[in-house]
Structure 1
């Protein structure tokens, strides 16, 4: 289990992405300048043989008298002509973050091979690439890159859009019906300036994982509000059990997972939305109080026993603690579905999850929206129509999509479609099915929150996770922290760098 992790450290942090994109030009999006779909027509010159009939005159002698007669003759001539070249396969390049060998085989078999078999005039080439974000970014800035462009999430695509690196997908989306297939918020997360530029390949959310065996042994119920959660935390402390386990030692941005939970469930998702679109300030009381509450829990040792341990433990340490009952819960992302089982198999105990309860009266519990990866079409691709067909193959069959995602235990490659329980492969963990069915139902009625790595502009988002340590160390108050966040947010609003935020309904 030494290689296991609660989150993928290969995902680029926004700080590194922003630094590398410093040279990318920014400016207003002008729809009229958007690149159009390019079709390549190839001609070639060939030498052909042609049969020519012609009438020739010749002189013959008839009874000693010369006579001129005409006769038809046939001859073969060679001629150089220009013709349409014989159609060749359009090769579509798609660079993908490298998973394990077993998962590569599943993706190749169920995605690449089935697509190529159904499209004899197109060849989809998947290249599994370590550190694909960095490699792709370098290629794109050089004016190259693959036909299908991958980014770590909706918040990252904006830089490529502003630089003109990716093509608008509006006409293709209408042709394939992507708006009707995808969850509404997922489709809208790729719309910038009124045009669609990206589609999510995977989506995720934040939940509370817990040791079910421990809860049953202690007679603890699942908390559904702040009062019940406070009672549960006190019961954990009384039994010398850490209420929560978590760490940021292997992935510094992990702190933003918690920040988003407190924003959504204390300040409230409606208020978060208003702040993201400029109708509220991040300095308003509910946001300051949310960060103060989070700091209070850290100071009391509710996370991994102490702030020092939060900074020192490995991800495996925290999951082992929950699996062995030394810790009761872990607030984390649904990407953990792919890595949690071995810890509990080793301990012989059982895990489960529940939605984060509201932390303040009048605030609805929600599922946070997050895209873990997006796909776009390179504006310089010579095969944009064929690339769109390859993209569509990810979204046009729910059961095929779920078969692929099942190899990750639905922690990655989870296409945001409107699933029902019957869509999942036989034998799927019912805890996983329960989440995705409930997520679609709850978010479908408008009860959703926001993750910082999907909806915050880059500099503000990096500040949130990087500088919260100052709050934990007592070197910055929650009010000062929120004030600085507001300053950075205002700068990025002025620069047009706030990612798209789907309108609430």
Structure 2
């Protein structure tokens, strides 16, 4: 089940050290302390709004319950929890041995500690039964493997893009940049006109800083170099990674991102969206979760006539093509090895994750990222926002795919990436020392085997 809270909001409230999540939710059978009766599977859910909660109840929980017939069937009973406590409740329950049957995490990297602690049931026996290899994108299914076994199933996938207000760009004669030169020319012109070139900030969510490291490494160093580093064939001290951070640091120093280091750490997302709508910010590098957040600031909902759109990431190096799409799994779900009714729990999980049309209807209605199911253009509902449809069609057809830090870096390295990048932005840590620190930590996790599986870039 794709959780109905944006990844940023979830991680902000739970204090998770990884990414890729929209919310942490849980399924638990009777006997796990959830209060459900013996013929039910309980669900702990947290929702960003009542509308999304109702949609999930009607189209996932109630819809599944209608299919749950027969003597062994167990219906889902949803219990709504507070967004800021649901993750901690789940973590505490698992640690005490009374955890939920299905454990939700902020992506494959955050599943690894559960694997190391022996909390999870291997799902390999269910792959053929439910046809996951046929229904789910292969890279996303492989990302849930550890030690050669499948321990998690993806429930939401994303990429990164450039968001903008078309009227702002048209007014100043700009176009969505496709190269470093075009990007820097736009930023210089915007600064000269008193416009923030790139809306950015991490006042509400410290991990937002890694978004910039992610897209910069993917567009400057490129997917092949990242793949080599993630698989131990290249070090993070390689000049291509250091130079990318140096260039990004230089852009921050010029005030291009969020107004510079003095303002970046106090900027909030509401203000960024409002600046985009008013024309006071030109670009916003962000993820697919933007679709579930941006609409209230544009058009009738905000009392203005502004619109928004998105464009692929530009190329920041001559050796990397424009339009690289970093792959991201927003959330992952696993089955507790102590689950009393694993077959029924996995059946619920399959219903909530692997049906293509159901996932696309969920995306159309809420903007929340769908599970990475294999779909065609004909599968998209007619009422979906065409910008959202175009985004996921492009992602599914992508040939130049990259890697998000919150999906493919190990947990400690991922935390280091955004925490220490703050020191780079403020000038307290050099790009060279930043990359050396990451390399030291990454090598430790790599040797310990705490690395999510990394799919090879297409064509490699």
Is the pair's TM-score, using the shorter chain for normalization, greater than 0.5?
A: yes
Cα contact 2:154–2:333 (8 A) shared by 1: yes
- 1:435 Cα deviation from its structure 2 partner: 0.2
Secondary structure class of the residue paired with 1:112: helix
Is 2:314 the partner of 1:361? no
Structure 2: gaps of 5 or more residues: 20-29, 31-36
- 1:206 Cα deviation from its structure 2 partner: 1.0
Distance in 1, matches of 2:314 and 2:431, equals 22
Match of 2:414 in 1: 461
1:167-186, aligned counterparts within 5 Å?
Answer: 167-186=121-140
Q: 1:111 to 1:16 in 2, by over 3 A?
A: closer
- 1:9 Cα deviation from its structure 2 partner: 4.5
Deviates more, 1:160-169 or 1:363-372: 363-372
Is 2:453 the partner of 1:496? no
Match of 1:284 in 2: 238
Match of 1:92 in 2: 41
- 1:480 Cα deviation from its structure 2 partner: 0.6
Distance in 2, matches of 1:348 and 1:6, equals 28
- 1:228 Cα deviation from its structure 2 partner: 1.9
Cα contact 1:90–1:386 (8 A) shared by 2: no
Q: 1:357 to 1:249 in 2, by over 3 A?
A: same
Cα contact 1:95–1:148 (8 A) shared by 2: no
Secondary structure class of the residue paired with 1:312: coil
Aligned counterpart for 1:348 among listed residues 267, 287, 305 = 305
Is 2:336 the partner of 1:378? yes
Is 2:289 the partner of 1:335? yes
Secondary structure class of the residue paired with 2:185: helix
Q: 1:407 to 1:184 in 2, by over 3 A?
A: same
Cα contact 1:94–1:149 (8 A) shared by 2: no
Secondary structure class of the residue paired with 2:156: strand
- 1:261 Cα deviation from its structure 2 partner: 0.7
1:201-280, aligned counterparts within 5 Å?
Answer: 201-280=155-234
1:182-201, aligned counterparts within 5 Å?
Answer: 182-201=136-155
Cα contact 2:156–2:372 (8 A) shared by 1: yes
- 1:418 Cα deviation from its structure 2 partner: 2.2
Structure 1: gaps of 5 or more residues: 18-39, 41-87
Aligned counterpart for 1:405 among listed residues 363, 366, 387 = 363
Distance in 2, matches of 1:104 and 1:441, equals 31
Distance in 1, matches of 2:125 and 2:380, equals 31
Select the structure that is richer in strand.
1
Cα contact 2:145–2:452 (8 A) shared by 1: no
Is 2:8 the partner of 1:7? yes
CA RMSD of aligned residues (A): 2.0
- Per-residue deviation, residues 158-182 of structure 1 (Å, max 9, x unmatched): 1111111110111111111101111
- Per-residue deviation, residues 312-356 of structure 1 (Å, max 9, x unmatched): 121111111111111101001110101111212233211101011
Cα contact 1:248–1:254 (8 A) shared by 2: yes
Aligned pairs, number: 428
Is 2:422 the partner of 1:421? no
Query: Scaled by the length of structure 1, what TM-score is found?
Result: 0.81
Larger of the two Rg values belongs to structure: 1
Is 2:314 the partner of 1:314? no
- 1:5 Cα deviation from its structure 2 partner: 8.3
Aligned counterpart for 2:251 among listed residues 289, 297, 305 = 297
- 1:91 Cα deviation from its structure 2 partner: 2.2
- 1:424 Cα deviation from its structure 2 partner: 2.1
Distance in 2, matches of 1:360 and 1:13, equals 34
Deviates more, 1:344-353 or 1:242-251: 344-353
Query: Scaled by the length of structure 2, what TM-score is found?
Result: 0.89
Distance in 1, matches of 2:16 and 2:411, equals 6
Superposition misfits of 4+ residues, deviation over 6 angstroms: none
Deviates more, 1:180-189 or 1:394-403: 394-403
